[in-house]
Amino acid sequence: MNKSKLETPLIIAACLSIIYGIVDVVAGFCATTLPGKVAVADFPVNMLSQMPVFRNFVTYSTIALFVLGAAFIIAGIGLSLRQVWPRWVALASSALQIAGLIYIAIYYYKEILPAVEEIFLIFGRPDNAWLLETGGIVLFTELAALIPEIIIILLLIDLSSRRTTAAI
């Protein structure tokens, strides 16, 4: 098999890893530095009273964005240099990111939405409450965010199977 055909998935996986890593690092930076607009003015305070672990959830989610983003960038650079170890870093980062996104979606539906409803019962429902109630958008966003990781995993698995076939 042609060597360039063997390396095409590797190059695509490297580019996706770098791009996705940059997006994660920028998103983590934005999450820590930019104030968000919420439907209720005291929403973070009220969320903390309803869910004491909310601050930990936000903190760990933000840290995970930075760490996994950096891991994706490192893996992408290593993959572009045709090293072996970045494949494992990319696979592990993708698996952790997939698990984290699924956890966030479940946590949102099981913990955050009920707490939001209680806050609305106490303080009233503001005009822009739909910003917090659109669970379908959150689920769609979480599922859409899985696509790059799944593509990276499939490309690296495809690359491994091509090399095994070429070696035989």
- Confidence (pLDDT) at 14: 85
How would DSSP label each residue in 34-45?
A: SPPP-SSTTHHH
Going 150 to 17 to 107 to 27, the CA torsion angle's sign is negative
- Confidence (pLDDT) at 36: 53
How would DSSP label each residue in 127-162?
A: TTTHHHH-HHHHHHHHHHHHHHHHHHHHHHHHHHHH
Q: Which helix (H) or strand (E) holds 63?
A: helix 54-80
- Confidence (pLDDT) at 115: 75
- Confidence (pLDDT) at 13: 82
Structural tokens at position 136? 């379908």
User: Looking up tokens 């840290």, which residue turns up?
Assistant: 63
Report d(CA 57, CA 77) in Å as an integer.
Answer: 30
- Confidence (pLDDT) at 163: 59
Which three-class secondary structure state does DSSP give residue 83? Answer: coil
CA-based nearest residue to 90, from 151, 165, 29: 151
Q: Which residues of the chain carry a pLDDT beneath 50? A: 38-41
> Each residue of 75-114: pLDDT tens digit?
889 988 888 888 888 888 888 888 888 887 788 778 777 7
- The domain spans of the chain are 3-157
